[in-house]
Chain A
Amino acid sequence: MAKKYAMIHDNNLCIGCQACSIACRAENKIPNEVYRIQVWIQGPNQHADGSLNYDFHRQSCVHCENPPCVKVCPTKASYINQDGIVLIDKKKCVGCLYCVEACPYKARYVDPVTQAPDKCTFCYESRLSRGEQPACVTVCPTDALIFGDLNNPSDKISQVISRKITYQQKEHLGTRPKMFIVPNTQGGKIR
């Protein structure tokens, strides 16, 4: 059965340490000028109860089920593979960069070496094919990232999604991202 790979980013557990960003850079040999993933520490934001808190925004591809980048690609270089991962076939890419423009999550960049668009692949080519978890998940010091197959009900990710409240970025666009976010409910109440 085909897989439906997805990820959870738990804002309560994330500490913005950037271990994910560096591990991705090492494993996928990302040129220094660009990145596939960063965690942006936002805030402090004041919550309704008066507490101050930082939010942790994972800036990377969210692997939409209905991806605008795939729709706009004139050569089918951007595609969703059988396991639900959005990938780029560089041989088919003509460099029009429509996909970079179309992505509502600003997740794509132009690789300064290949001049083709690139982005997070859930480490499809570098690690999943070897049976390993994505690099970011492997190193995350506080287990804020969970990766797995939504088609498998006994997978940890399915269990956590059924237990915890999650949301997806820009749900109103109908892109159906497979990046699920556990919102931050903690926060140092100022006294």
Chain B
Amino acid sequence: MNGHGSSLSKHWSRRKFLKMTSGTALTAGMMNVPGLLRADDIKSKYSGNVTMTPSVCEMCTSACPIEARVQDGKGEFIRGNPLDKGRGGKVCARGGAGFNQLYDPQRLVRPIIRVGERGEGKWREVSWDEAYTFIAQKLEDIKQKYSAQSVAFTCRSGWTKNWFHHLAQAYGSNNLFGHEATCPLAYEMAGVDVFGSVPSRDYSKSKYIINMGHNILEGIVISYARQYLEAISNGAKVVCLEPRLSITAAKASEWHKIKPGQDLAFVLGFMNTLIFENLYDKDFVEKYCEGFEELKASVSAYTPEAMAKDCDIDAETIKRLAREFAKAAPKAIFDYGHRCGYTLQELELRRAMMMINALVGNIEKDGGMYLNKSASLYNSIIGEPKAPTLKKPASPPYPKPAFPRIDKIGEEGCEYYLAGKGAGIGTLVAPSALGELPDQPYKIRGWFIARNNPVMTQINTQKVIDAMKAMELVVVVDIQISDTAWFADVVLPDTTYLERDEEFTAGGGKNPTYSVGRQKVVEPVGESKPCWLIAKELGEKMGLGAYFPYKDIEDYRMQQVGDNIELIVDLKKKGQTSFGVPLMMREKNSVRAFVEKYPTAKDKVNSEGLMDLPKKIRLFSKGLEEVSKTGGLVYKPDTIKADDELYYINGKIAVRTNGHNGNNEWLNHLIGDAHIWIHPHTAEKMKLKNGDKIEIYNRYSTQRGKVLVTQGVREDTLFSYFGFGTISKALKRACGKGVNSNFLMPPQLGQNTGMGLNVVGVKVRKV
């Protein structure tokens, strides 16, 4: 389906065609699904010039498909893309506030350079050319004085990362990082180790879900939230184990107030019950798993009785839940969670969660988990390259860096070997800059940060700030002067997602999927520029123009799809498309329908009418055994707090995304401050009442907040929402309100993950 290259004339005719089909294409109506309410049905009822453009949200990183309405050049209303089944055309509060972000007077829309000290908030406006010249010169200086590797590049997932990690490698740095080590990294590593990739959860058809703090209904991913409530509406049993009553837990059948940071004890007791009460799926384990005997031996001592005290869930309950779960399998999911950082043994925790799913054989079963079918996996099952793949425009080879990365990923015996090179262990940037890493041949001297906010999202905030102050160059690309930008030398204004076209993307669920990326809905405000353009222009200024062999984003997109005009039209008109039919390899009906459509896949069907999994599931990790002697599952009891302290934990709220949009006017209006939750018994002992001002403190920091007395939290635990306590005075609505939890977190990093903790001991005093 994909051609190879194109002649100039073809190129131009396609180019014209692209222009014709972009943006307002929905009015043409030629590719609409028959019978559905069409955008032009509604458009005819609007006065003035109205466009409705399918694109992708960026208020968080879930990338939900949206449809944005613009009237006479002004953005008005955002809803979910009605053609998207998974999210039902819906959008959350953050997504609905997209235009409010775009037109925010506190947004940065011109490049600025620092004139005072770092963090003093004194800037001057400069031209793009001056900003580029300044950055290019500094980067060249650092390269000459130290090495290009002394500059770390930390970027937001997806689009942003693609552009600036490319620039980084062209420049000569291999220190590439994402947000992963502050959020999902451990479960991603666990997925890679156990299954070869992270599997997806088929919540909607599940009959039994165990959820340990995966706050689906407040850290909203719309497709998950819908599936989750569908399962509950259909009678699924949901068991939540978490120290505070989230909205997710409130919708569950049972809520168990597990002790903060002690989830691994519960999971191991649960697994021990599955194995030693013979509740696991022996046929599945024998056929598709390796290392079962080693796993069994490694968890033999972790009986529910031995684990109960540590996690504060009694042994009988652990056993009951394991028995109920096994009985409901394969329509049962042990959720491996999302934001990690419960324990310094995070990889053990997430691996154990992943493995429980394999033990009950729910893989590729309805209501269980499934492997994501990208075009390459899908095509390998069909046996022919049917599903289109996107190409990356060719560019020259990158220069070879002289030294390993600061996290040593890619080197023999690296403890973090399971992390992707684009993820990296971003939490090591600050320790490297401060010279705290053992035997490193170089320090990090410069930091290029695009749409990431480490001052808010990395643990031990003060260390991150100190590291930035010690550096020779800090560049931030963002839509606002974030807490991180507050300490930068140069801040470059990114466009918001509604003002830019982006490259096409491909992924996969039960079958391959494709997305338009983003489509420009309105013209950029001020002088803001999209990241693809910033990377290209800065690259050219640095003499790296050859690495950016495309004229603009449209040219880039065409190189991605080759001659597949149909795909371009689909993406631009519908915003997204998929290929083929959904496939669950161990469901008979699904396999039958698949083979009917793709007869060449017939030889993949086994005697039971199912398909075998493409690779063995690892219940024992040879790799981890080699680097850290943790091939099986190992449990080390951990004391998180002193006896006279309380646990302090944090979590998500539906109207604010981590370090990103707390200053959004509409969202901030819904919650400007985050109270500190405290149990009535604890409040009584401390003589605290609702609204009292308190300080919570430990040896790392002191933070202030107001009390909320509630039964929704354990007696020994304090809770507040994450994403508050903004430092940047440029974010006037959010600055200084609520607890910045990362100031309080300890500096230790988890084994094999480099992740910090989201739980710590604190004391309380009344202000």
Q: Which residues of A contact B (CB under 8 A)?
A: 12-13, 15-19, 21-23, 25-27, 32, 38, 41, 43-44, 46, 52-54, 129-132, 135, 138-143, 186-191
Given contacts A44-B250, A139-B91, A186-B232, contact A191 B76 (CB under 8 A): no
Assembled-state Cα–Cα distance A12/B232 (Å): 10
> Is there contact, CB below 8 Å, between B712 and A52?
yes
Q: Which residues of B contact A188 (CB under 8 A)?
A: 240, 245, 249-255
- A140: nearest residue on chain B (CB-CB)? B90
Q: B residues 227-259 with Cβ under 8 Å of A?
A: 229, 232-233, 240, 245, 247, 249-257
The chain B residues found within 8 Å of chain A, CB to CB, are 41-42, 45-46, 76-80, 87-93, 95-97, 99-100, 217-218, 220, 222, 225-226, 229, 232-233, 240, 245, 247, 249-257, 317, 654-655, 665-667, 669-670, 710-712
Q: Judge whether B78 and A54 touch: CB under 8 Å.
A: no
Interchain nearest-CB distance for A140 vs B (Å): 6
A83 to chain B, nearest CB (A): 17
Query: A15-B654, A18-B655, A21-B670 in contact; A26/B93 too (CB < 8 A)?
Result: no
Which one of B257, B670, B710 has the greatest number of beta carbons of chain A within 10 Å? B670
Q: Check B247–A44 contact: CB distance below 8 A.
A: no
B710 adjacent to A44 (CB under 8 Å): yes
Contacts of A139 in B (CB 8 A): 79-80, 90-92, 95-96
4 shortest interchain CB distances as A-B pairs? A188-B255, A22-B96, A17-B654, A130-B45
B257–A16 touching, CB < 8 Å: no
B254 engages A141 (CB within 8 Å) = no
Is A142 a contact partner of B250 (Cβ separation < 8 A)?
Answer: no
Q: Using Cβ atoms and an 8 Å threshold, which residues of chain B touch A13?
A: 229, 233
Cα–Cα, bound, A26→B89 (Å):
17
CA distance A139 to B253 in the complex (A): 27
CA distance A22 to B220 in the complex (A): 15
Residues of chain A lying within 8 A (CB to CB) of residue B665: 32
- Flag if A131 contacts B45 (CB, 8 Å): yes
Of chain B, the residue at the smallest CB distance from A29 is: B76
- Report the bound CA distance from A44 to B709 in whole Å: 11
Majority secondary structure of chain B interface residues (helix, strand, loop or mixed): mixed
Contact between chains at B88 and A143 (CB < 8 Å): yes
Q: Report B-chain residues with C-beta under 8 Å of the C-beta of A131.
A: 41-42, 45
Nearest CB of chain A from residue B724's CB, rounded to whole Å: 17
Q: Are B712 and A17 in contact (CB-based, < 8 A)?
A: no
Can you list 8 A-B pairs with a CB-CB distance of less than 8 A? A12-B251, A17-B655, A22-B666, A26-B78, A32-B665, A54-B247, A141-B87, A190-B255
Q: Which residues of A sit under 8 angstroms from B667, Cβ to Cβ?
A: 22
Apart from A15-B229, A17-B654, what are 14 other A-B pairs with CB-CB below 8 Å? A12-B251, A15-B220, A16-B654, A18-B655, A19-B91, A22-B93, A25-B666, A26-B99, A32-B666, A41-B247, A52-B711, A129-B45, A189-B253, A190-B255
With the chains together, A22 CA to B90 CA distance in Å? 13
Given A15-B247, A41-B247: A130 touches B42 (CB 8 Å cut-off): yes
Contacts of B217 in A (CB 8 A): 15, 17
In the complex, how many angstroms separate the beta carbon of B263 from the nearest chain A beta carbon? 16
- Name the residue in B255, B667, B712 with the highest tally of chain A Cβ atoms < 10 Å from its Cβ: B255
Q: Decide yes or no: A18 and B710 within 8 Å by CB, A52-B245, A188-B240 being known contacts.
A: no
Known: A23-B96, A44-B711. A141 touches B253 (CB 8 A): no
Closest to B242 in A: A188
Give A52 to B246 CA distance when docked, in angstroms: 11
Q: Do A26 and B76 have beta carbons less than 8 Å apart?
A: yes
Q: Which residue of A lies closest to B232 (CB)?
A: A186
Known interface pairs A23-B96, A131-B41, A139-B80; A18-B317 also in contact (CB < 8 Å):
no
**Nearest Cβ on chain B to A126's Cβ, whole angstroms:** 9
Beta-carbon contact of A189 and B92 below 8 Å:
no
| B43 (CB) vs chain A CBs: closest residue | A130
CA A188 to CA B712, docked complex, whole Å = 11
Q: Give Cα A54 to B247, complex, Å.
A: 7
Q: Tell me the smallest distance from the CB of B76 to a CB of chain A, in Å.
A: 7
Contact A130/B46 with A25-B666, A26-B96, A141-B220 known, Cβ cut-off 8 Å: yes
